[in-house]
């Protein structure tokens, strides 16, 4: 294998999330291979498949009826059979997600850092990280900086790949910050 192929293959190994797969496949998706095999996915989750060599009944009708019942579009993808003899449907959808166009997006959130009852970080007005009663605090290690803690929490919860900046909301403010983070999404 030459070095150029090694670089391309390393790029193919970026993590693929369920959200990436859902974005590529859409709400309802039928994948057909040129040998007649089919697979049906709803919201990126595998539902059923048919193996043409075993004369399995096709899943295309189930896919069409499911999408129609939900008043949704059925995304159909026609592909060649993978070269690897040990392929599985998950391999195919991961490759589709990896080859999809991506973009880096940035987000911001206000965070409060406090040492009143131990070291902790609170995310203000965030649908996931604020908690259902808007009083969820994440513990911060004794030797961990506020930036390291905020990045760890954002990455751990799948909201970011990295923290770009953590700036005080007001000059001289040591407790309230604007966190700017980034992540790569599939378009």
What pLDDT digit, counting tens, does each position of 99-143 carry? 888 888 999 999 999 999 899 999 999 989 999 899 999 999 999
Question: pLDDT-derived band of residue 2, with 50, 70 and 90 as boundaries?
Answer: very low
Cα torsion 160, 15, 94, 97: sign: positive
For the sheet with 74-79, list strands across it.
45-50, 38-42, 28-33, 74-79
Whether the Cβ atoms of residue 34 and residue 79 lie closer than 8 Å to each other? yes
Instruction: State mean pLDDT over 159-173.
Output: 90
Residue 80 is encoded by which pair of tokens? 């060649």
CA distances from 180 to 3, 110, 113, 139, 150 (A): 36, 9, 15, 20, 10
Point out which residues pair with 77 in neighbouring strands.
31
How far is residue 60's CA from residue 50's CA, in Å, rounded to a whole number? 9
What pLDDT digit, counting tens, does each position of 22-64 carry? 989 999 999 999 999 999 999 999 999 999 999 999 999 999 9
């Amino acid at each position: 294998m030459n070095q150029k192929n090694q670089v391309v293959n390393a790029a193919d190994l970026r993590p693929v999330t369920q959200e990436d797969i859902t974005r590529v496949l859409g709400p309802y998706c039928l994948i057909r291979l040129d040998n007649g095999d089919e697979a049906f996915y709803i919201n990126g989750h595998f539902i059923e498949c048919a193996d043409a060599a075993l004369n399995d009944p096709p899943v295309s009708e189930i896919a069409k009826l499911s999408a129609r019942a939900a008043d949704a579009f059925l995304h159909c993808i026609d592909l060649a059979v993978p070269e690897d003899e040990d392929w599985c449907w998950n391999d195919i959808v991961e490759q589709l997600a990896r080859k999809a166009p991506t973009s880096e997006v940035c987000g911001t959130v206000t965070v409060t850092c406090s040492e009143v009852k131990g070291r902790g970080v609170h995310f203000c007005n965030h649908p996931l990280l604020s908690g259902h009663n808007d009083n969820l605090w994440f513990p911060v290690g004794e030797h961990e900086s506020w930036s390291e803690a905020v990045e760890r929490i954002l990455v751990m919860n799948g909201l970011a790949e990295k923290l770009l900046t953590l700036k005080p909301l007001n000059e001289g403010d040591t407790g309230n910050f604007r966190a700017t983070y980034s992540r790569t999404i599939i378009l």
